[in-house]
Structure 1
Amino acid sequence: MFLIYNYLPGGNLESFIRGRSAATVQWKILHKIAFHIARALAYLHDQCAPRILHRDVKPSNILLDDEFNAYLSDFGLARLLGTSETHATTGVAGTFGYVAPEYAMTCRVSEKADVYSYGVVLLELMSDKKALDPSFSSQENGFNIVSWASLLLRHGRAKEVFTAGLWESSPHDDLVEMLHLAITCTDDTLSTRPTMKSVVQRLRQIRPS
């Protein structure tokens, strides 16, 4: 089976994050990309039968058009999940830094593994940092964007998570709400992580006017 996409001149999200100009550091654009990815995953998890686990959600697998609409791509590692199944047991697949800890440790994968990966992507989108980045070592918590962002949020330093110019030009309450959402998505406890449907609902509540 083949997936056919329209030509998407915006490249992938990884290139966008690493090379974006000051003109594209906007709350409206950030929210639009985050919302489209969330909606795509919610569709796979809730509206497909059987349900689909993507298992490799990362910036290089998200494509953009010239209006910053985001499209999930590369379903090579996708796994089907029956309606009555809560998880699947399978060899660990995905990219280091985006794989949920419980999946890496137990080989049991569920929708919440995609939620974790989405949370990591959201942190990258907000911060311009990589999922694993040597710059995090100065924070004494290794190279993990999740630990780094969680530490800053706990210490009341949320502003430091956001890429240059975003905090100054965007509604602070909405940015912090999105940061809280990303941290909740990457919680070690599966039951704490929201569903993608819930993520879509929360993003709707902070949609730019």
Structure 2
Amino acid sequence: MGSAGGGFMEKTEVLGIRLYILIGIAGAAVLTGGLTALLLYLRSSSRRDRPTRLKNSSGLIPTCSMEIVVAGGGAGKKFGWNEKEGSGSYVGIVKEGVVNGAAGSSRSTPPEILGHIGWGRWYTIEELEMATGGFSERNVIGEGGYGVVYRGVLPDFSVVAVKNLLNKKSQAEKEFKVEVEAIGRVRHKNLVGLLGYCAEGPRRMLVYEYMDNGNLEQWLHGDVGPFSPLTWEIRMKIAIDTAKGLAYLHEGLEPKVVHRDIKSSNILLDKQWNAKVSDFGLAKVLGPGSNFVTTRVMGTFGYVAPEYASTGLLNESSDIYSFGVLLMEIISGRNPVDYRRPSGEVNLVEWFRGMVGSKQVEDVLDPSIQVLPSPRTLKRALLVCLRCIDSDAQKRPKMGQIAHMLEGDEFPYRLEHRSAPRGVSLLECLPASVAPARFPLLAEKTIMWR
């Protein structure tokens, strides 16, 4: 043992260093090299597995560690994106994986939901719970068969509306996919902007821009006092804004979008009474070359076009009929169907027609309007109502024409898309389904349009 120990203690030729010290240095060098190599390997592996954060013009894109396809051009039309209005590309996630929210938490999300998402902001349940005070009742701003809408405040102090869809027989899933795919990329000043979404487990939520003046139904039928703040001018502004939003869906997009649920509660207002169409959960996309789509009849009783209710054949003329009922509601302040009224006044459309036919044109006006419109202006609006509810759907005007009618920029109706000649009377412009004899007042007091 002594000789062995003496051997380790002997000096070597390497700078006179004893043997045991040299062995220790060599062992430490090998250990250090091994640890360094292991650290480099772990770092490179971590980089490969780290998701890449992408951004585009519409905001934060969900980050993922899966295959990402960047598509542009015609693929954008899958969202109803009008290429005339925007440019660029969108990101679609095509394989199942882990998606990171902005807060850094991760959630697994079904691939069928994420397949066409990539235009907007991804929100986590935790973010939306914090924004809405735990989905507090005091933040509820609307509710119905579709779910509940909450007012929310994000960390950057921006205010949003959060729609928590009720999961009734997968209806939430259907409405979620329809809204995201049909109008996710659509941007128009008269359509409520869809800012983002949340899809975690069975929960489906949509995040919209917030409109701080509620909806039109509240102002028409709520308790606003003896005189409505909705003057005639404001009412026509709301009607024109709504017509322009629908005209964009029908005529500004390819493929076109039919809203299918036009009603006063789906018209949202800001503090300046600017109107925006909301709630696209029932919307349908009409593919190129399609004149109609066959669907299960959906909508709100009183607003649904009769031909759609009887056949299930849906196209943009169904929205136009609903808009005509909405315009009657705006003018009269009455609900489309109100069983509290006498039998002859329950149905707004029938009552409206009867009032005009019995020389009571001014009596259709909401009594809470303080300053009445001029006879000429009122009759122009009545004419638009009658054209929109024409029993022959093909003779109803387009939404773009309706907006011009209400603005008074041109003759209120173009027969067969030709400019009307000077000196044409209001009576001649009535729908073919309405007998002139039923409108003696209009026959006696013919209005000559410029």
TM-score normalised according to structure 2 size:
0.44
For the pair 1:170 / 2:373, whether they are aligned, the reply is yes
C-alpha separation in 2, matches of 1:23 and 1:120: 20
Counterpart among 348, 361, 374 of residue 158 in structure 1:
361
1: CA distance, partners of 2:296 / 2:283: 12
- Please tell me whether the aligned partners of residues 146 and 183 of structure 1 are also in contact (alpha carbons under 8 angstroms): no
For 1:143-178, what per-residue CA distance to the aligned partner results, in whole angstroms no more than 9, with x for missing partners? 211111011111111111111153853222111210
Q: Which moved more, 1:89-98 or 1:22-31?
A: 22-31
CA positional deviation for 1:58:
0.5
Give the alignment partner of residue 269 of structure 2, picking from 58, 64, 67. 64
Deviates more, 1:178-187 or 1:119-128: 178-187
* Greater helix fraction, Structure 1 or Structure 2: 1
Relative to structure 2, which stretch is displaced further, 2-11 or 69-78? 2-11
Larger RCO (CA under 8 A, 6+ residues apart): 1
Matches of 1:159 and 1:135, distance apart in 2: 22
SS at match of 2:285: strand
Confirm or deny that 1:197 pairs with 2:400.
yes
RMSD of the alignment, in Å?
1.9
Q: How far does residue 184 in structure 1 lie from its aligned partner after superposition?
A: 1.5
Are 2:232 and 1:27 equivalent residues in the alignment? Answer: yes
Contact 2:231 2:371 in 1 (8 A): no
In 2, Cα distance between equivalents of 1:32 and 1:155: 28
Deviation at 1:203, TM superposition (A): 1.3
Superposed, which structure 2 residues align to 1:52-201 within 5 Å?
52-134=257-339, 137-139=342-344, 143-166=346-369, 168-201=371-404
C-alpha spacing 1:167/1:150, structure 2 compared with 1 (3 Å):
farther
Q: Deviations over 1:60-105 (max 9, x none)?
A: 1110001110010000000001231111111101111111000000
How far, CA to CA, are the matches of 2:409 and 2:367 in structure 1? 21
Question: For 1:24-57, what per-residue CA distance to the aligned partner results, in whole angstroms no more than 9, with x for missing partners?
Answer: 2422101100000000000000011110000000
Deviates further, 112-121 or 164-173: 164-173
2 CA distance for matches of 1:158 and 1:138?
20
TM-superposition CA deviations, 1:163-207 (whole Å, max 9, x none): 115385322211121022112211221122111111011112169
Q: What's the TM-score once normalised by structure 1's chain length?
A: 0.91
Give 1:50's aligned amino acid. Answer: P
State yes or no: 1:11 paired with 2:214.
Answer: yes
Cα pair 2:228 2:369 within 8 Å, conserved? no
Partner-residue secondary structure (3-state), 1:169? coil
1:16 counterpart letter in structure 2: W
Could you tell me the percent identity over the aligned residues? Answer: 38
Aligned residue pairs, count: 205
1:40–1:62 CA distance, 2 compared to 1 (3 A):
same
Mind listing any 5+ residue stretches in structure 2 that lack a counterpart?
1-179, 185-193, 196-207, 411-450
Q: Of the two, which has the highest radius of gyration? A: 2
Q: 1:151 and 1:32 mapped to 2: Cα distance?
A: 26
Matched letter for residue 75 of structure 1: F
- 87-96 or 162-171: bigger deviation: 162-171
Counterpart residue type for residue 148 of structure 1: W
Q: What secondary structure is seen at the aligned counterpart in 2 of 1:52?
A: strand
| 6-15 or 161-170, which deviates more | 161-170
Q: Counterparts of 1:35 and 1:96 in 2: how far apart (Å)? A: 23
Mean CA deviation greater in 168-177 or 71-80: 168-177
Change (3 A) 1:18 1:86: same
Cα 1:171–1:90 change in 2 (3 A) is same
Per the alignment, do residues 25 and 62 of structure 1 end up closer, same or farther by CA in structure 2, a change over 3 Å counting?
A: closer
Name 1:42's counterpart in structure 2: 247
Q: Which moved more, 1:47-56 or 1:129-138?
A: 129-138
Runs of 4+ in 1 over 3 A off after TM superposition: 135-138, 165-168
| CA shift in 2, pair 1:138/1:94, >3 Å | closer
SS in 2 for 1:184: helix
